[in-house]
Amino acid sequence: MRVRLAQLTVALWWGSLGTVAFLVVPLLFVHLPSPSVAGSMAARLFEAQTWVSVACGTLLLAVLRPKHASALEQSDYHAITLIVLGLLLALVMQFGVAPRIVARQDLKLWHTLGSAMLVGQWLCTLALLWHMQRGSAGK
């Protein structure tokens, strides 16, 4: 049951990142009347995505936590590293990068950095999803 809950959670995290970043936000810039309106809406969506990421990451850390610290296996360390890295990327994006984009400070630099962090978070969750599916295939 715990493994399935963890798999569903990481699938939700990965899928929501992909949907917001690669589908919804680009459509905003195509269909909304101005880039500033689209950018404002995108900022709200990315903020919501941050909280989805925090909820999913926290739930994953709680679900995957073994009863005894000595019970951690090497693959558990790999999963925990991916979860923590994904969480850090989400939080740094929200509280470090996003305010600079909203303030239009060196927009090209901060937008590029934010995009790279979002792709990094997406890749962390993809690797975690792949890792968890591979781990449960033999069980």
pLDDT in tens, 28-85: 999 999 999 999 999 999 999 999 999 999 999 998 876 666 556 666 788 999 999 9
**pTM (predicted TM-score):** 0.88
Domain chopping of the chain, boundaries: 2-137
pLDDT digits (tens, 9 = 90+) for 97-106: 999 999 999 9
**Nearest Cα to Cα of residue 83 among 106, 98, 99, 61:** 61
Count of C-beta atoms within a 10 Å radius of residue 126: 16
CB atoms within 10 A of CB 8: 12
What is the tens place of the pLDDT at every residue in 3-31? 899 999 999 999 999 999 999 999 999 99
Burial 47-76 (b: 16+ CB within 10 A, else e): eebbeebbebbebbeebbeeeeeeeeeeee
